[in-house]
Amino acid sequence: MRLEQASSLIVKPKVAPPLDPGFQPACLSNQEFRRLTASSGGVPLRLAFERADGSVSTFSTTVLPPGAPNFPLNFRYIERIVKFLLWQRGGWKIYVGGPVEIGKHIRTAYAAGGAREFDAVFMGGVYEHPFTVVVTDPDKVPAEKEVTLPPGRNLDGCRVGFDLGASDRKASALVNGQVVYSEEVPWDPRNASDPTYHYEGIMDSIRRAASKLPRLDAVGGSAAGIYINNRARVASLFRGVSKRDFEDKIAGMFLRIRDDLGVPLEVVNDGEVTALAGSMSLGENPVLGTALGSSQAAGYVDSAGNITGWLNELAFAPVDYRLDAPADEWSGDIGCGVQYFSQVGAIRVAEGADMRFEPGLALPEKLVALQDKMRAGDPLARQVYETIGAYLGYGIAHYSDFYRLKHILILGRVSTGPGGEIIVSAAKAVLQEEFPELAGRINLALPDESSRRVGQSIAAASLPRIHRERA
């Protein structure tokens, strides 16, 4: 362990990612901080995250007391935890109950012009409240008040499920739970400025799948982004659309699609559907599902089989604490999940190791080329997947500080092909070497090849209930 710039505890991992030896696992830095705090007489700090429906998530830890020689270490430790929890749990108001200097540091970071301004603006838009940081005492932080909902699992009738990613649309047709058709169609929604492109593309996928059914009873959808009551609030899929067109034509688009089709329709975040797919296939809970796709999607089904009111946007959650970690091109923050558990991360690692791709290839095409190299036995391609697996092992250990974990399901395009097995094997090796207690109680599952690619659209189909007269 060493101290760097009075801001981070740097701990060398026992299992370094072969193509990224500088990786600094968040879990190891936090573990070392807690050891230091325990030996220095730590003081309590409580955090709370309030959402628009009044629900509240809380988190408790200890920090170095005011006057401690290494007190500045608190700032980095709490800032990273707040960032993780904000994107895991969501919220428009943060309560920081502890040493006032720490609370002021967080307030400054999330103020206009601060390092986390993007996050504050984003959350304010999601929850339609001005983003607020309250600095207070630990005993004045609100109590936890979580809300859970039973998700989907409706497989009766004739259904279509779709899953919208940044590089393709997936759709499946089901009859009483049996898949009769599945397809993937390439598209490029993030660069499309005309909302008509998105509407027509989604309707095309639904209609193509519905054409394989004797009738259409219900439609369920999975999409990257945040959706509240079937209304899009924020989503990278629609980044090319102007703010005005988003509010006028995208925000209520799925309600329009529901009305145009004339059947029940439900759309939720793709991460939640990932977790639902895991819960349905495994038959046990809790399940953390994560899809390694164009970005990282994640969702959580709790021990009772319910979904929470959390965001679970782990693409924005920090997992690497080195000070020169790769930056997310959208938020600008460093060391966040998208750069490790996605197509972006896979190609970053590959190109950083001087893997060559044909000029002009888009990101999905580069991933296909990487997968082809893996199938051909390219040793560098194998190291790319071993690197992602090492990231995942340490990432799971970090997630265990914030989730109750039993099953973790890995889906998404990056996990397809033989590379998926290498990712899981490397992740398990990290857990066995560094965190044997976690290795003994967490099941890391990789579904069959078909489920990895279209499992989310199948689970999404189960979301809506069919009106009784349609059953």
| 3-state SS string for 53-116 | CCCEEEEEEEECCCCCCCCCHHHHHHHHHHHHHHHHHCCCEEEEECCHHHHHHHHHHCCCCCCC
How many angstroms separate the CA atoms of 250 and 243, rounded?
10
Which of 40-49, 159-168, 413-422, 440-449 bottoms out in mean pLDDT, i.e. has the lowest?
Answer: 440-449
The answer to whether the beta carbons of residues 341 and 391 sit under 8 Å apart is yes
Confidence check: pLDDT of 388 > 50? yes
Indicate the pLDDT class of residue 34, thresholds 50, 70 and 90: very high
What is the model's pLDDT at position 56? 97
Does 112 fall in a domain?
yes
How many angstroms separate the CA atoms of 402 and 445, rounded?
20
Does 31 fall in a domain?
no
Does 5 fall in a domain?
no
For residues 249 and 381, state if they share a domain: no
The answer to whether the beta carbons of residues 166 and 136 sit under 8 Å apart is no
What is the model's pLDDT at position 166? 82
- Using a pLDDT cut of 90, give the percent of the chain over it: 76
Indicate the pLDDT class of residue 70, thresholds 50, 70 and 90: very high
What is the model's pLDDT at position 470? 47
More confident of the two residues 335 and 273: 335
How many angstroms separate the CA atoms of 15 and 141, rounded?
39
Does 34 fall in a domain?
no
Q: What phi and psi, each to the nearest 5 degrees, are found at residue 232?
A: -75, 130
Question: Would you say the C-alpha torsion 127, 271, 414, 155 has a positive or negative sign?
Answer: negative
Q: What is the mean pLDDT of residues 267-271?
A: 86
Does 26 fall in a domain?
no
More confident of the two residues 229 and 221: 221
- Neighbour count for residue 228 (Cβ, 10 Å): 16
Does 466 fall in a domain?
no
How many angstroms separate the CA atoms of 321 and 76, rounded?
9
For residues 320 and 406, state if they share a domain: yes
For residues 101 and 154, state if they share a domain: no
For residues 318 and 415, state if they share a domain: yes
Which of 251-255, 278-282, 416-420, 432-436 bottoms out in mean pLDDT, i.e. has the lowest?
Answer: 278-282
For residues 243 and 318, state if they share a domain: no
What is the model's pLDDT at position 2? 36
Q: 103-153, pLDDT tens digit by residue?
A: 999 999 999 999 999 999 999 988 989 999 999 999 999 999 998 888 788
> Quick one: the chain helix, strand, coil %, rounded to 5?
40, 20, 35
What is the pTM assigned to this prediction? 0.87
Q: What is the mean pLDDT of residues 48-56?
A: 95
For residues 450 and 306, state if they share a domain: yes
For residues 153 and 202, state if they share a domain: yes
- Neighbour count for residue 310 (Cβ, 10 Å): 28
For residues 174 and 140, state if they share a domain: no
- Using a pLDDT cut of 70, give the percent of the chain over it: 96
What is the model's pLDDT at position 92? 97
For residues 179 and 134, state if they share a domain: no
Find out whether the peptide bond into 286 is cis, omega within 30 degrees of 0.
Answer: yes
CA distances from residue 260 to 174, 387, 460 in whole angstroms, order as listed: 20, 46, 19
Q: What is the mean pLDDT of residues 321-348?
A: 96
Indicate the pLDDT class of residue 4, thresholds 50, 70 and 90: very low
Long-range contacts of 10-16 (CB under 8 A, 24+ apart): 10/321, 10/322, 13/390, 13/394, 13/430, 13/434, 14/433, 14/434, 15/390, 15/393, 15/429, 15/430, 15/433, 15/434, 16/390
Domain end position, chosen among 272, 306, 336: 272
Domain count, the chain: 3
What is the model's pLDDT at position 1? 36
What is the model's pLDDT at position 229? 85
Does 73 fall in a domain?
yes
Does 463 fall in a domain?
no
Q: What is the mean pLDDT of residues 391-410?
A: 96
- Neighbour count for residue 434 (Cβ, 10 Å): 19
Domain end position, chosen among 205, 238, 272: 272
For residues 305 and 429, state if they share a domain: yes
Q: What phi and psi, each to the nearest 5 degrees, are found at residue 367?
A: -65, -40
Mean pLDDT estimate for the chain: 92
Q: What is the mean pLDDT of residues 361-376?
A: 96
The answer to whether the beta carbons of residues 178 and 158 sit under 8 Å apart is no
Indicate the pLDDT class of residue 471, thresholds 50, 70 and 90: very low
Q: 283-333, pLDDT tens digit by residue?
A: 889 999 898 988 898 989 999 988 888 999 999 999 999 999 999 988 999
Indicate the pLDDT class of residue 269, thresholds 50, 70 and 90: confident
Record the tokens describing residue 49, joined without a space. 């995250």
The answer to whether the beta carbons of residues 26 and 8 sit under 8 Å apart is no
Buried b (16+ CB within 10 A) or exposed e, 345-371: bbbbbbeeeebebeeeeeebebbebbb
Looking up residue 365, the CATH number of its domain turns out to be 3.30.420.40
More confident of the two residues 65 and 449: 65
Domain end position, chosen among 254, 272, 290: 272
Domain of residue 164 covers 149-272
How many angstroms separate the CA atoms of 46 and 62, rounded?
8
What is the model's pLDDT at position 7? 59
For residues 131 and 185, state if they share a domain: no
What is the model's pLDDT at position 279? 84
Reduced to 3 states (helix: H, G, I; strand: E, B; else coil), residue 124 is helix
For residues 319 and 373, state if they share a domain: yes
How many angstroms separate the CA atoms of 13 and 29, rounded?
10
Confidence check: pLDDT of 451 > 60? no
